[in-house]
Chains A and B, each alone.
Chain A
Amino acid sequence: KNQVEQSPQSLIILEGKNCTLQCNYTVSPFSNLRWYKQDTGRGPVSLTIMTFSENTKSNGRYTATLDADTKQSSLHITASQLSDSASYICVVNGAGNMLTFGGGTRLMVKP
């Protein structure tokens, strides 16, 4: 069964600190992996999309890594800001161009 597991489920950090969110997947075949940011009361917004051949991709203070061999991805947030408080969802595109969603990591950045 295709699964996407994220850890931790929730995380609290102080403003200005860095953090790393993890995503492990069993989806096969694999087309691409996406990280979404979902603010409270809003729909998910795409941060990065990585294909099989990409190991890392950055979007401002967000850097995603992908190891397709171990089927692991991470999202690193640098110099966190209060506005980074949100849920971060890992999503894998597999067979039939269909997506499998992780349960998300809820990040809270405190001043």
Chain B
Amino acid sequence: GAGVSQSPRYKVAKRGQDVALRCDPISGHVSLFWYQQALGQGPEFLTYFQNEAQLDKSGLPSDRFFAERPEGSVSTLKIQRTQQEDSAVYLCASSPRQGQGSYGYTFGSGTRLTVV
């Protein structure tokens, strides 16, 4: 596709439920990033993939958060045993080169997760 696609757009989960959020990056983009954006705040870095390798997961808030990109294209962010503080918009971005700062770095529209 022409842009970064995320699904679902909205997800309501009961506390304790597991959720999986999907990101389809722009075709050919080697770098993929996940961010968490709380209401009224800027995006906070979660994790970074270069192709299928997860090079940085320093932003994942707990071991309940897990991300994968097994074939170097589509990525899934999984949150286990969701808690209310996990409620946020989860943004995915991809880039044609290594790192966040390259030109062509593009965000998806995000998945809004609400934990009730």
Contacts and interface: CB of A to CB of B under 8 A. Distances in A.
Given A89-B42, A101-B43, A103-B41, A41 B99 contact: no
Given A43-B4, A103-B41, A104-B42, A93 B110 contact: no
B110 A99 contact: no
A1 interface: no
Contact of A93 (B4, B91, B98, B100): B100
Interface residues of A, number: 23
Interface size bracket, B side: 20 to 34
Rank and list the top 7 A-B pairs by shortest CB-CB distance, nearest first. A97-B99, A43-B107, A93-B101, A101-B42, A97-B101, A99-B100, A103-B42
23 contacts: A9-B40, A41-B110, A42-B110, A43-B91, A43-B107, A43-B109, A44-B91, A44-B107, A45-B107, A93-B100, A94-B101, A96-B99, A97-B98, A97-B99, A97-B100, A97-B101, A98-B99, A99-B100, A99-B101, A101-B43, A103-B40, A103-B42, A104-B42
